[in-house]
Chains A and B, each alone.
Chain A
Amino acid sequence: MPATTMSKAEREQSHARVFDLSQHSLRELNQALHKLTPGSNETAWEVLNPKGSHSVAVGVDQPITIDVRGSVGYYCAGMNDGAAITVHGSAGPGVGENMMSGSIVIKGDASQYAGATGRGGLLVIEGNASSRCGISMKGIDIVVHGNIGHMSAFMAQSGNLVVLGDAGDALGDSIYEARLFVRGKVESLGADCIAKEMRPEHIELLQALLDKAGVTGVKASEFKRYGSARKLYNFNIDNADAY
Chain B
Amino acid sequence: MTYRNPPTTPRKSATFDDYTLSEIRRAAATGIYDIRGAGAKRKLPHFDDLLFLGASISRYPLEGYRERCDTSVVLGSRHARKPIELKIPITIAGMSFGSLSGPAKEALGRGATLSGTSTTTGDGGMTEEERGHSKTLVYQYLPSRYGMNPRDLRRADAIEVVVGQGAKPGGGGMLLGQKISDRVAEMRTLPKGIDQRSASRHPDWTGPDDLEIKILELREITDWEKPIYVKVGGARPYYDTALAVKAGADVVVVDGMQGGTAATQEVFIENVGQPTLACIRPAVQALQDLGMHRKVQLIVSGGIRNGADVAKALALGVDAVSIGTAALVALGDNDPRWEAEYSALGTTAGAYDDWHEGRDPAGITTQDPELMKRVDPIAAGRRLANYLKVMTLEAQTIARACGKNSLHNLEPEDLVALSIEAAAMAGVPLAGTNWIPGKNGF
Contact = CB atoms under 8 A, between A and B. Distances in A.
B224 A27 contact: yes
Contacts, number: 104
Contacts of B30: 237
Among B144, B195, B210, B217, residue most surrounded by chain A Cβ atoms (within 10 Å): B217
A176 B205 CA distance: 22
B195 A58 contact: no
Contact of A93 (B31, B145, B151, B204): B204
A226 interface: no
Contacts of A157: 189-190
B194 A98 contact: no
A4 B148 CA distance: 38
Given A58-B217, A98-B149, A155-B199, A234 B177 contact: yes
Interface of A: 26-27, 30-31, 34, 54-55, 58-59, 61, 73-75, 78-79, 81, 93-94, 97-98, 100, 112-113, 116-117, 119, 132, 135-136, 138-139, 154-155, 157-158, 176-177, 233-235, 237
Contacts of B214: 74-75
Given A59-B150, A97-B204, A119-B189, A237 B31 contact: yes
Contact of A176 (B148, B151, B177, B190): B190
A26 B213 contact: no
Given A100-B149, A119-B149, A235-B32, A135 B204 contact: yes
A85 to B, nearest CB: 14
A81 B204 contact: no
A78 B203 contact: no
B223 interface: yes
B150 A79 contact: yes
Given A54-B213, A75-B217, A34 B223 contact: yes
Contacts of B32: 235, 237
A233 to B, nearest CB: 4
Contacts of A54: 213, 216-217
**9 tightest A-B contacts by CB?**
A59-B221, A233-B194, A94-B204, A113-B204, A117-B145, A237-B31, A116-B204, A79-B150, A138-B189
15 contacts: A27-B220, A61-B151, A74-B214, A75-B214, A79-B149, A79-B150, A81-B149, A98-B148, A116-B203, A117-B204, A155-B203, A157-B189, A176-B191, A234-B193, A235-B32
Nearest to A98: B148
B222 interface: yes
A55 B190 contact: no
Contacts of B224: 27
B222 A136 contact: no
Interface in B216-246: 216-217, 220-224
A26 B217 CA distance: 11
Nearest to A120: B149
B220 A58 contact: yes
A136 B150 CA distance: 17
Interface residues of B, number: 32
Interface string B118-148: 0000000000000000000000000011001
Contact of B199 (A26, A34, A136, A176): A136
B191 to A, nearest CB: 6
B288 to A, nearest CB: 30
Contact of B150 (A75, A81, A93): A81
Given A74-B213, A75-B213, A75-B217, A117 B148 contact: yes
Nearest to B32: A237
Contacts of B205: 93-94
Contacts of A79: 149-150, 153, 221
Contacts of A30: 220-221, 223
Interface string B64-87: 000000000000000000000000
B171 to A, nearest CB: 13
Nearest to A57: B220
B195 A59 contact: no
Contact of B220 (A55, A93, A235): A55
Among B189, B199, B214, residue most surrounded by chain A Cβ atoms (within 10 Å): B189
Contacts of B31: 237
A136 B144 CA distance: 8
Contacts of A138: 145, 189
A117 B203 contact: yes
Contact of B217 (A31, A55, A155, A176): A55
Interface string B22-35: 00000000111000
A175 to B, nearest CB: 12
A202 to B, nearest CB: 19
A234 B195 contact: yes
A158 B220 contact: no
A129 to B, nearest CB: 13
A73 B213 contact: yes
A132 B26 CA distance: 39
B250 to A, nearest CB: 17
Interface in B186-213: 189-191, 193-195, 199, 203-205, 210, 213
Interface string B162-199: 00000000000000110000000000011101110001
Contact of A78 (B189, B191, B217): B217
B222 A59 contact: yes
Given A54-B217, A55-B213, A154-B203, 6 more contacts: A27-B224, A75-B214, A98-B149, A112-B204, A113-B203, A176-B190
B180 to A, nearest CB: 10
A229 to B, nearest CB: 13
A240 B236 CA distance: 30
Contacts of A117: 145, 148, 203-204
Nearest to A176: B190
